[in-house]
A = this chain, B = another copy of it.
Amino acid sequence: MAVQLLEVPGAVSKSLSGRLGAKLDSRAVQFFADYQQSHDNFLVDVDGNEFLDVYAQIASNAVGYNNPTVVKASTSNEMALALSNRPCLGVYPGAHLADNIDSIMRIAPRGHNMMFPAQSGSEANELAFKAAFFLYQLKKRGLGAEWTQDELESCLRNEEPGSPKLSILSFKDSFHGRGFGSLSTTRSKPIHKLDVPAFDWPMARFPALQYPLESNVDKNREEVESCLKEVDELMSTWRDPVAAIIVEPIQSEGGDNHAPASFFQGLQDLTRKHGALLIVDEVQTGFGATGSFWAHESWNLREPADLVTFGKKAQMAGYFFGDKTLKPDKAYRQFNTWMGDEARLIVCNAIIDEILEKDLVTKVSAVGNALYNALEKLAQSYPDRVRNLRGKGAGTYIAFDTDGAAALCNKMKLLGVNIGNCGKNTVRLRPMLIFEEKYIPRLIAALVNAFKLPDSVQPGFATF
């Protein structure tokens, strides 16, 4: 029986795209969604196409379309107040802010009891960098030491000593955002970075593990040791002191690259050795998708990570910390007009309620195992199509390499599945936390059909 292909984008999407494109750069638009009709794991477009969504708004939808708990929060009186009177949270917070922050702190990483809200993962990472730089200089200056006149004046000219030459170390293939600071630590793809001035900050190799892990134990251990050695050397020799290392638990945009706990433990040791901080970027990995609330929980670090940033599935962003010295020595240093958005804090808390009440993290762990097993079988049937399957035991955070990953993901849309790629040739699974085992056969069947379709069969949206 011939496979039925959807028309993507459909006529309504195409017409809207023309209108939007006249005023906004809409070249990355794949279709226009009908959010009224979308539900749970299914994204419906304006032409009535229904997609099983295992990409979930670039890994940012945690609990499904029109989740009743989130809808309820979105239509609450408190929400209307937050939207209509947008408070500056740092100066005139509303009566509910203390409750809302308490509520967020339910899911704070181990050892962390403070947080700072932000609006994007990129902003969260930059705020974490600033916190690290403040602390680095505080230690250098000595606790309680006054700022010198030279520091106060030179910083306004972007000159030393007020604007110090310090750096953040990041890893090859990492993604930490697109601001000028966060982009300086992003090393994923030229399309993210080309033509933008960047800070002269160090980059180390991230372990390139070989799969299957069982048959590459020695090689992978050597690889981890070699990468840690490079970090140690860079921290010893880089012209500008390294105030912090930033690392993703699983490099996501860069190709779903995993590393063992020993690597991250080694990084923490190196930060201690060199007087730097460890920033764990959980913007994409956080909020349950890896089968634990925070991916870095599985590392069993000797001490808590210094700063943990989050975003995406939280529907807001920010960073957590535990060490009180990371709170700047003076008010207004870490500050901005809105300091996040209370409307999005309310949504975030509804999502946390839903995750905790429905025990979704545990469920992700179970469905992740089933999904991994199904993909392992698929890999046995299509060894050339499904290579380097990874993410075993990491919830639904599963990926594999395949030639023409982008083209494959495009074809999947014609087959009613929204799925994303990353890195050079990686298909990454990012289902929502409410993904269920019953959808696995549909996903696998679509992959099989997509393997059979020639790459020339592509949707009508611009592809890159």
Residue numbers of A with Cβ under 8 A of B are: 16, 19-20, 22-36, 38, 43, 46, 57-58, 60-61, 65-67, 70-71, 73-75, 77, 79-88, 90-95, 97-98, 101-102, 105, 113-117, 119-123, 126, 129-130, 133-134, 136-138, 147, 151-152, 155-158, 162-167, 172, 177-182, 184, 187, 190-191, 193-201, 203, 240, 311-312, 315, 327-328, 330-338, 341, 343-344, 347, 462, 464
- How long is the Cα–Cα vector from A60 to B90 in the complex, in angstroms? 14
In-complex Cβ contact of A86 among B57, B163, B187, B464 (8 A) = B57
- A334-B25 contact given A84-B67, A123-B179, A156-B193, CB 8 Å threshold: yes
- How long is the Cα–Cα vector from A196 to B33 in the complex, in angstroms? 41
**Chain B neighbourhood of A334, CB < 8 A:** 25
**Chain B neighbourhood of A193, CB < 8 A:** 155-156, 158, 162-163
- How long is the Cα–Cα vector from A184 to B130 in the complex, in angstroms? 13
Do B119 and A87 touch (CB < 8 A)?
no
- A26-B90 contact given A66-B85, A201-B158, A332-B464, CB 8 Å threshold: yes
Do B158 and A198 touch (CB < 8 A)?
yes
Nearest chain B residue, comparing its CB with the CB of A339? B24
Nearest chain B residue, comparing its CB with the CB of A163? B198
- A338-B133 contact given A179-B179, A203-B157, CB 8 Å threshold: no
- How long is the Cα–Cα vector from A73 to B80 in the complex, in angstroms? 9
**Chain B neighbourhood of A120, CB < 8 A:** 119, 123, 336-338
Do A151 and B190 touch (CB < 8 A)?
yes
A sample of 22 inter-chain contacts (CB < 8 A) reads A20-B101, A26-B90, A27-B331, A33-B92, A58-B337, A60-B86, A66-B81, A71-B80, A120-B338, A133-B196, A134-B195, A136-B195, A137-B194, A147-B194, A155-B193, A158-B193, A162-B193, A162-B194, A165-B197, A179-B181, A191-B332, A311-B337
In-complex Cβ contact of A60 among B38, B88, B163, B333 (8 A) = B88
- A330-B464 contact given A151-B190, A163-B197, A193-B163, CB 8 Å threshold: yes
**Leading 7 A-B pairs by shortest Cβ distance:** A180-B181, A27-B331, A158-B198, A74-B83, A137-B195, A163-B198, A119-B119
Nearest chain B residue, comparing its CB with the CB of A57? B88
- How long is the Cα–Cα vector from A240 to B158 in the complex, in angstroms? 14
CB distance from A285 to the nearest CB of B (A): 14
| Most B CB within 10 A of own CB, among A31, A35, A162 | A35
Nearest chain B residue, comparing its CB with the CB of A94? B35
Do A86 and B315 touch (CB < 8 A)?
yes
**Chain B neighbourhood of A98, CB < 8 A:** 16, 19-20, 23
